[in-house]
Amino acid sequence: MPKAIGYTPAWLSKPNPGYKIFNGAPSAANASYSSTSANTSRKRVSKPGPRRTIARRGTEIFTAVGKEIRWADLVYLKEAWESKQPKERRSRRQLEEDEEDEESQYDGDHAQGYRTLKTPVADDIRQIIISPHSNYLAILTTHTVHIGVLPESSHLTAPDTAPMKLKTYTLGPTTHVTSQSGIASALWHPLGVQGQCLVTVTEDAIVRVWELTIGNHSSFDKPTLSIDLKKLADGTSLDQDFGASVSGQSKGFTPDSIEMEVASACFAGRNSGGWSPMTLWVAMKEGDVYALCPLLPERWSPPATLIPSLSISVIAKAATMEGQLNVSQQQSRLAQQQIAWMGDLDNQEPIYQEYGSGEPHVEVYIRPAKPGKVPKLQGPFEFELAPEESEDGLDDMLTDIFVIGPKIDSEELMSGEEDDLELPGIDEEGGLSVGVVCLLRPSGRLCICLDLDGVEAQWLPKSKSKALRILDEADPPELLTFQVLDTLKSEEMWDGNWPMFSQDVNSGYSLFVTNTSTVTFISLSPWVFRLETELSGEAAGGEFRLDVLVKGQSTLRERVYTGKAKPNDHTLSLAASTVICDPDLGYFLLTATQYGPQSISFELPEVEDYNPIQRSCSNTYESEPDKPLILCEPRPVYQAPHELEQPSKLPDLLKNLRHSPHKRILKENVRLSKATFQIMNEAHIILGDETHHIGVAAAELFRRCELLQIDLQSQIKKAHDVAQRVEAIAGEEDEEGTGTISTDEAIDTRIMRAKGRQKELTERVERLKKKVLKGTAGKELTPREREWVDEIRKYEWKVLGEGEPVSVSVGGRREVAREPFERFKEVQELEKVILEDVKALAGALVPSTPGNGNGNEGPGEKMGVKVPSEVRRRKEREIMKALERETALVEGAKLRLERLSLV
């Protein structure tokens, strides 16, 4: 989700040149106010339609203002404005550059970054579309198309800011005229050679393909392919004529003229997979969607991955059908047509053409003649899981369409290859293996649909045959409605609203929706990659996860701009947004009204795996000063309403009256007459409108002043909170109030205080101990304490033999009892005596029998006494048990005595 960090900067605001580029002078129709056309001009309402008046070439922009085209280099304008700022507001780098160059390149006598381009159009420009190679500009009014040849940037950047005449060619001088139907869309074909193929779609559903060649005027006079979609919808054979009607031919009313009135058309991206780059999607105002595939110019240039991927899919599909018995005749005929089309393409030898020196060459193919050059019109598409029909008619109509083609399956394309090659045109971002179709309605509702079946190339049969009877049996194509979002509130809807799509530059699955006064950011990324994982995987529980994914509100929707246009104010309608991402400008969105530009600056998206080159700074390097901390959320800069700057129309009325038949009334006294009443009525209408607009603007100014006070109080409060946090982190003031104490000093002080407190507590405890000992000294023992002492002495005598002996009563007399330690000592003495006797006997006696020679003779055997081994072992065991028992008694008594002494 992009985060707005700023709105229209100062270099695009009054009175800088960046603002004047978008601000057009009042047209003659609005400035003059004739007495004969006063009432009719008030009732005239402009026809709703798309307003795409901003195109870009890198950081250069072209904007249409009335009948003119303004050019500007945004980076040049920004740097020029920064160079003219006071020194305290400029960076150190700019100051050093100005010291080195006494004369700045941004002075008035040097090159300027803006220019006016004159065009031969007869009406206000409604759309400008730049070509894929940024060398041509399609200029559209409501009914006419002109192709302008854009000069190089070096020719546009010049000290002279006088208007420059743009070299233009009129496209279809007898076709696109005011007497014919208006133009709905003009698209540069993504597969055109050198980006010189233009496809125009008129409101009466006629598609024309123009293959332009600069210098060849005939290529601008007649299209190479013309298709009437109304005829094609009812067509049954390729032998029929589907071309447009003769220019000037009278047209009667038909139901198709209403149901097939075109609102918009579009192609998918050049690097999308399948048949998408050559599929023209057409959205009708009444809500129907059609597809025309394949729509190609006579000469076309595909990307490197297009033909191999199509060949693999067509061959795989035909091989799958051969092993099946239930294949319909419609599917079989379609597979044969696609194989014939691919066969014609494989038999061609591509023509290699270069754009210029240093640029790679491209492969140019000729459009296959089989099965035919006019494809079948697929549609109208049926919408599965579509929302219920609304009572509001705006929810059933369409204004714009945007299609994201499926991704290229690189694994299938590289199957069988030994090495993995990096193929151009494959998006590293990945994506969805099915197409996404986005539709916009006048109510601001956005419908996101999935093309699960995929649009493939289809043609009508060549002649009348059995295949004709199968056409009606084929099921209509379908689109699955994935999600429906609203971008407008109920009070913001009106009949003249015409929402438009604008693609984001950072992601293929992000876009902006521009309404009359709002801009909304839409991102499909949260669910696109998760859905692709579920569609491509075979893990258990996929149905449950898909159900959770579909029911969850996963599409990101965030309004990034809300203007101040009123629902019935046509003059403040926003143009389609243009998105720029440049190191000098940042992440930048630009739109405009008739009275000035509106822009939004976003935070740059986080780039993963970005490791900048680490360079060591020199000793003389001085870093740029840090940017100030943003305490409050950014908001659009207030600009005074344009009504306060508009000149009054009364002087024009008086000027027109001086040249009218009623000029004598201005010199005579006021008389009650019809002419006087008419003049007074017109003047009243002008004054009433102007005073009303000025009053509304003044009220808006008063409300903004009140809001400014509230915002100022909020900012002061936030600044106070931040100051308190900074003081808490940085430290406190010293006792004298001369400065602040650093964080380290404050921590050291706290540690010293804690140590001193601990020392005081230790001394206090020692003093308390001494007082306790003094208080208990000299007191007699209690009976229990005496008993405890006697018991300790008794155990001490029994175990250790220390202290006084304890006497017991035996037979009426007191005797000293034998204690365990005495018995233990007696046993030890007996042991010593017995061992000495045994050794003495062993040395005096001589053994009667020789030993066995192994040295294991027992003592009985050495003395000649034969003692049975069992008796000897039994006696030894008895002695050892007695010793162990006595030892255990003594040890237990010692342990008990020690515990008692500790207590």
Characterise 826 by phi-psi region: left (phi > 0), alpha (psi -120 to 50), beta (else): alpha
Residue 578 phi/psi, 5-degree rounding, is -125, 130
The answer to whether the CB of 234 falls within 8 A of the CB of 456 is no
What's the pLDDT score for residue 738? 56
Q: Pick from 337, 334, 344: which is nearest to 365 by CA?
A: 344
Cβ-proximal residues to 128 (8 Å cutoff; 6+ apart), any chain: 52, 53, 54, 55, 62, 63, 64, 69, 137, 138, 139, 140
Residue 665 phi/psi, 5-degree rounding, is -65, -30
Residue 420 phi/psi, 5-degree rounding, is -85, 115
The alpha carbon torsion through 12, 14, 16, 21 (nearest 10 deg) reads: 70
* pLDDT at position 513 over 90: yes
* pLDDT at position 199 over 90: yes
Average pLDDT over residues 234-248: 79
Pairing of strands 289-292, 377-378: antiparallel
- Rounded to the nearest integer, the mean pLDDT of the chain is 80
Average pLDDT over residues 237-263: 73
Give 120's pLDDT tier (boundaries 50, 70, 90). Answer: very high
Residue range 436-454, pLDDT digits in tens: 999 999 999 999 999 988 8
Distance between CA atoms of residues 844 and 826, nearest Å? 27
What's the pLDDT score for residue 550? 66
* pLDDT at position 267 over 80: yes
Domain locations along the chain: 650-728, 783-846+870-902
Residue range 23-42, pLDDT digits in tens: 865 443 344 444 333 343 33
Cβ-proximal residues to 874 (8 Å cutoff; 6+ apart), any chain: none
> Exposure of 885 by Cβ count < 10 A (0-12 exposed, 13-18 middle, 19+ buried)?
exposed
The answer to whether the CB of 379 falls within 8 A of the CB of 476 is yes
* pLDDT at position 106 over 80: no
Lookup: tokens for 611: 């490791």
Q: Quick one: DSSP state of residue 631?
A: -
Lookup: tokens for 389: 């029909």
Residue range 815-867, pLDDT digits in tens: 556 677 777 888 888 888 888 888 877 766 545 444 444 444 444 444 455 66
The alpha carbon torsion through 778, 784, 789, 795 (nearest 10 deg) reads: -170
The alpha carbon torsion through 443, 448, 453, 457 (nearest 10 deg) reads: 60
Pick from 263-272, 490-499, 795-804, 877-886: least confident: 795-804
* pLDDT at position 882 over 70: yes
At residue 661, what is the residue type? P
Distance between CA atoms of residues 52 and 812, nearest Å? 129
Q: How far is CA 269 from the centre of its chain?
A: 19
- Looking at per-residue pLDDT, the higher value among 809 and 556 belongs to 556
Pick from 349-353, 596-600, 778-782: least confident: 778-782
The dihedral of CA 542, 547, 553, 556: what is its sign? Answer: positive
The answer to whether the CB of 596 falls within 8 A of the CB of 639 is yes
Q: Pick from 651, 648, 673, 646: which is nearest to 661 by CA?
A: 673
What's the pLDDT score for residue 253? 54
Q: Pick from 370, 451, 172, 190: which is nearest to 296 by CA?
A: 190
Distance between CA atoms of residues 283 and 863, nearest Å? 127
At residue 864, what is the residue type? G
Average pLDDT over residues 716-720: 87
Distance between CA atoms of residues 895 and 67, nearest Å? 112
Distances (CA, A) of 699 to 428, 566, 640, 691: 53, 14, 11, 12
- Looking at per-residue pLDDT, the higher value among 783 and 96 belongs to 783
* Count of CA atoms in the C-beta half-sphere (13 A) of 816: 9
Q: Pick from 560, 576, 428, 579: which is nearest to 504 by CA?
A: 579
Tell me whether the omega of the peptide bond preceding residue 371 falls within 30 degrees of 0, making it cis. Answer: yes
